[in-house]
Amino acid sequence: MSDLLRSAMSARLAKLPADLPPHNDEEDEEETDSLGPLPGSGMGPPAMPFTSPQSSKAKKLPNLAFAPISAGSFFNDAAQVAVQARSLDCRVYYTPPKFADREGTVMVCHHGAGYSGLSFACFAKEVGELSGGECGVLAIDARRHGKTTAMDAVDDSDLSIGVLVEDLVGVLQTVFPDPAVAPTLVFVGHSMGGAVVVRACPILIKEKYRVAGVAVLDVVEGSAIEALPHMHSLLNARPDGFDSVEEAIEWHVSTNTIRNSTSARISIPSIIVYQSEGRVHAYRWRTPLRSTAEYWSSWFTSLSSTFLSTPAARLLVLAGADRLDRELMIGQMQGKFQMVVVPGVGHMLHEDDPTRLAQILVEFWKRNERVTMGVKKVGEL
């Protein structure tokens, strides 16, 4: 559960093309947000109050210690995937497994509200190293996030849970169109993304995709629902914008919103957008969290029951000993899922300690994908 919520409570991608068409995103000025030669490259509240700068304030010079870092050595490829059925041009980041098609396994990662697929960059690299390349990682940018854009000026403002689930299903059916030869999938969802993956999982299983498990990162339905009435007042602690990309990165690190500066220097450039030097702030949030408020309830309502009924192995990873709601507590006593608490991290645990999370997820994958036929999987009914 997030620090914000706690405070309130007291084109198939067997191999993506090496040369991708450039973005016509002149206003972003994100030359450093790239994967080597490739283009372009929720709820994540502050850990402490912040007073929004005033227009009269002198502009802060960029701190080069927080300069953006290319994600080129963290993912193999990046591409825009046209999902015609969803009218989305979806940005994906992909490191394929060394074994092709159904012999391989891919961890499908969905970020939280306000963030992007690049929040899994350091995690992706760790997974590749720990699994010896046997596990690939596919991270997506959700609609209205990162580099995902709407096609033909279609309204993409709807972030309700059903829409986000259909988007994820559509992306995977485009990336891996034939379930018979698709790799085994392990779903990993952070906060809002956890709500998406637990609902997408049974749909894809029904479509004959092989799913080894689903992992939810740092969200518990009970705590989330109880905290929602306090969200707006707590979001006032966030700045309205930043004078530079470096300032945005520094703010996330200095407030402990992200405790790993390397990860922040990779992921943060994708969640802000350049507007103009004439504004109070040259950079604004790409997806202001306050603008998503009408969808918060849909994300978290029935999350626990949906997670517990997911027809695959289940894993809940928490940052700190957050209390479970009644359904999860009963489910844990019945052995319906595995739970791991990671110490020393905040809500962005996959960025704060990507090595530890990769160890947990690779172990989860080995236990539930590489089991002898007939052996019950962890968390399986």
| Predicted confidence (pLDDT) per residue in 103-124, tens digit | 899 999 999 999 999 999 999 9
- Ranking 171-175, 222-226, 311-315, 376-380 by mean pLDDT, the lowest is 376-380
Q: pLDDT higher for 56 or 64? A: 64
Angstrom distance (rounded) from CA 92 to CA 142: 9
Residue 43 has pLDDT above 60, yes or no: no
Q: Would you call 281 a catalytic residue per the annotation?
A: no
Q: What is the pLDDT of residue 19?
A: 34
Q: Provide the CATH number for the domain formed by 3-12+27-50+57-369 in this structure.
A: 3.40.50.1820
Residue of 191, 244, 263, 267 with catalytic role: 191
Query: In which band, very low, low, confident or very high, does the pLDDT at 140 lie, cut at 50, 70 and 90?
Result: very high
Stretch 62-74: mean pLDDT: 94
Stretch 71-90: mean pLDDT: 96
pTM assigned to the model: 0.85
Q: pLDDT higher for 5 or 207? A: 207
Long-range CB pairs of 318-321, under 8 A, 24+ apart, other chains included: 318/1, 318/218, 318/220, 318/342, 319/1, 319/218, 319/345, 319/346, 319/347, 319/349, 319/352, 320/1, 320/6, 320/345
Stretch 340-369: mean pLDDT: 96
Q: Would you call 116 a catalytic residue per the annotation?
A: no
Query: In which band, very low, low, confident or very high, does the pLDDT at 78 lie, cut at 50, 70 and 90?
Result: very high
Q: Would you call 158 a catalytic residue per the annotation?
A: no
Q: What is the pLDDT of residue 109?
A: 98
- Across the chain, mean pLDDT equals 85
Residue 177 has pLDDT above 50, yes or no: yes
Residue 370 has pLDDT above 90, yes or no: no
Residue of 347, 350, 352, 353 with catalytic role: 347
3-state DSSP percent of the chain in helix, strand and coil, to 5? 35, 15, 45
Q: Are residues 375 and 223 in contact, defined by beta-carbon separation less than 8 angstroms?
A: no
Q: Where are the domains of the chain?
A: 3-12+27-50+57-369
- Ranking 47-51, 177-181, 209-213, 220-224 by mean pLDDT, the lowest is 47-51
Q: pLDDT higher for 370 or 212? A: 212
Residue of 218, 322, 325, 353 with catalytic role: 218
Residue 16 has pLDDT above 60, yes or no: no
Q: What is the pLDDT of residue 139?
A: 98
Q: pLDDT higher for 136 or 40? A: 136
